Chains A and B, each alone.
Chain A
């Protein structure tokens, strides 16, 4: 059920991103809210459930974006592994950590995207555009906290209504004890 809810949320975000948010002017950029969802899931869920959702969201992203199938699932799973690796050392449940983590992870996605696209099509290398990337990082930093707040509300609603919260990382438990 948890996977279905976040998958539906991911689909809704993707639809908004590919339609409504495309109307925003170029100088404002197009915020990657789906990526914030991926960071949130990586921070908040257990490995198995999180990996399944992220794999599905990556496959979904492949449908609406890009040329090379499988690129998004691989990159998103690498980001998931990166965040899970960090979460062993740092408690990532707070927005104060999640927003900078989202920014760093997005930069990581850009690097992976550049390297993989380059190696998949060496004759057609993608352009590394610092302007667009910095704008996206800024947008993620600005909208990060409120968007994570919305995701948190959905997660809390799910926790309060469902008994199957065992798949989700508990927010109040101490994982370092």
Chain B
């Protein structure tokens, strides 16, 4: 015997009334359920994302360290080549501080009198002359850069063999002093240490002639030199060790 299966009118009415509420609640619950599911999935994604970010960061750091090691290796290799070409003995030093003032150009390096560093010793890099040791303590030394106005280096131009004294201008440039107006100096001619004066060995690169002016007054030309060394990028230096410094008091 089959029971009654067909809705009566009150059933249908009840269904019609409650149906929309069911739909609404069902939609809401589906939405919430979906949202919750997405939220949980998102949490997983977030965790995964975080993990991936950390891994990426780790690889970035490793990559930077690798590049830095490679760059240091190249620099040190060049330094080694220079060191082998210079008259022995030489000493490699690292810059640990720079002069904070506007008026002077000095550096502090991590080599001192206990390493044999003395006042007046020339300091160079692969590119050329950096300066000379001004003073030293047992483990550290102060280097007077060639760009300081108090620095003076005896030089000679490569092509025309004109001698003069290079002095710092307090910025990334030198002035070539005491070159007579009658002397022939060419623009872009290289300027090298002359070996006179006894501080720097002969033939080290100082820079190249960037500007020549002959004023009406005076005996000498006004010559500006572009330094061979980029003084803003200095890291490692080579000290040319001499037994006796000629600038010693």
Seen from chain A, the residues whose Cβ lies within 8 Å of a Cβ on chain B are 14-15, 17-19, 21-22, 26, 30, 32, 34, 63-67, 110, 113-114, 117, 121, 124-127, 129, 132-133, 136
For the complex formed, measure the closest distance between the CB of B248 and the CB atoms of chain A, giving whole angstroms.
Answer: 16
Task: Say which one of B2-10, B63-71, B147-155, B218-226 lies at the interface with A.
Answer: B147-155
Q: In the complex, A125 Cα to B170 Cα: how many Å? A: 10
Known: A18-B108, A129-B171. A117 touches B100 (CB 8 A): no
Contact residues of B between 61 and 113, Cβ < 8 Å to A: 96-104, 106, 108
Asked if B150 contacts A65 (CB within 8 A), the reply is no
Known: A124-B150, A124-B152. A129 touches B100 (CB 8 A): no
Interface status of B182 (Cβ within 8 A of chain A)? no
For the complex formed, measure the closest distance between the CB of A32 and the CB atoms of chain B, giving whole angstroms.
Answer: 7
Q: In the complex, A64 Cα to B98 Cα: how many Å? A: 8
Seen from chain B, the residues whose Cβ lies within 8 Å of a Cβ on chain A are 96-104, 106, 108, 134, 142, 144, 148-152, 167, 169-171, 232
B101 contacts which chain A residues (CB < 8 A)?
Answer: 32, 65-66, 113
Contact of B171 among A17, A127, A136 (CB under 8 A): A127
CB-based nearest B residue for A13: B100
Contact of A129 among B96, B98, B170, B232 (CB under 8 A): B170
Asked if A14 contacts B100 (CB within 8 A), the reply is yes
Asked if B149 contacts A126 (CB within 8 A), the reply is yes
